[in-house]
Amino acid sequence: MLILGIETSCDETSAAIVKDGEKILSNVVSSQVEIHKKFGGIVPEIASRKHIEMIIPVIKESLKKANIGLQDIDAIAATFGPGLLGSLLVGLNVAKGISYARGLPFIGINHLEAHLYANFLCYPSLSPPLIGLVISGGHTELVYLSKKRKYETLGTTRDDAIGEAFDKVAKILELGYPGGPIIEKAAKKGDPEAINLPSVHFKSNTLDFSFSGIKTAILYYVKEIKKRGGLVPKEDIAASFQMKAAQILTERVLKAISLKGTKKVILGGGVSSNLFLRSFLRNKIPSDVEIFFPSLELCTDNAAMVAACAWQKIKEGKFSSLFLNAQPNLKLVVEE
């Protein structure tokens, strides 16, 4: 079965053709990073307008690279949340329009779930139960996926998402945007133990995350140095922040492994492309626990992961109505 996936949840316009949920025939991504860089972050109105401009060319390119026509597609899937409302509406409405015009099954996909399913593209034999960690610019979610593929939320961020924290620290250090790759690059030249950043403690025994306090500590640290006329040690701060973030994420994953007794962990989202974090996790996770990361090109927003997730929905007989609307605040687990 050939599935056309469409992803426009934030600032990447992407379309992909995936066969039987495993083989990527094409995965075209048009990034808006250079457009938003001068603003120091994503401007929602600009993002949605750029999606309108690029969505049809990107879909055509994905079909061309897969060497097929629209008449060869068996189903179509698109992200319907979470994300920026204007951006989500572009991809979602185009997908529903194609579905209606061609009489194709339509599947609405949760963006967070799609990030986890990037792993099933890279490791076709992978199966639950497992622990999943989604870490991106807008999300930090720790979940348990049961053998029956039911999700349970174990922890989420109480303030900034991990990727958002990277962006804000990069801004404080005047390093530029996006913060993730810039911080990682700067950290290579710094000492991760140079600055003692605060740890996060909650009163309850929770697996939730918090990154706002660390970001604020860095802000005041930098302000104090500038007040004294000193030179801000940007590389050391970047390395120390990256280390602290890795420690927090790893601590929660280890607790989740102990809580659920599972031997498999998967990661997804743009921050999972951080090579320092990958190495740190591998070194701290027990040797009898397998840890999986998507290929680097599948960590950031892309449509191949949307199509892969749709394949599982199709096998379960879960299709969506053409009346499905965008849900910018959609959660991975809907509490009953």
Burial code of 227-262, b = ≥16 C-beta within 10 A, e = fewer? Answer: eeeeeebbbbbbbbbbbbbbbbbbebbbbbbeebeb
**Count of domains observed in the chain:** 2
**Cβ atoms of 329 and 81 closer than 8 Å:** yes
pLDDT reading at 251 higher than 90: yes
Q: How many CB atoms lie within 10 A of CB 35?
A: 14
Q: Is residue 202 part of a domain?
A: yes
Q: What is the mean pLDDT of the chain?
A: 94
Secondary structure of 215-274 as H, E, C letters = HHHHHHHHHHHHHCCCCCCHHHHHHHHHHHHHHHHHHHHHHHHHHHCCCEEEEECHHHHC
219 and 252 inside one domain: yes
Specify burial of residue 317 (Cβ count, 10 A radius: 0-12, 13-18, 19+). Answer: exposed
Distance CA 249, CA 285 (A): 11
The backbone torsions φ and ψ at residue 151, rounded to the nearest 5 degrees and listed phi first, read -95, 145
| Nearest CA-CA partner of 74 in 139, 126, 3, 22 | 3
**Cβ atoms of 144 and 152 closer than 8 Å:** yes
199 and 281 inside one domain: yes
**Cβ atoms of 285 and 252 closer than 8 Å:** no
Which band of pLDDT confidence, cut at 50, 70 and 90, is reported for residue 39?
A: confident
Q: What CATH number does the domain containing 168 carry?
A: 3.30.420.40
Q: Is residue 56 part of a domain?
A: yes
Q: For residue 116, give the DSSP letter.
A: H
The better pLDDT of the pair 264, 202 is held by 264
Domain span at 169: 128-296
Q: Is residue 210 part of a domain?
A: yes
Q: Is residue 332 part of a domain?
A: no
Which band of pLDDT confidence, cut at 50, 70 and 90, is reported for residue 41?
A: confident
Residue 240's identity, in one-letter code, is S
Distance CA 285, CA 279 (A): 10
The better pLDDT of the pair 336, 221 is held by 221
Q: What pTM was estimated for this model as a whole?
A: 0.93
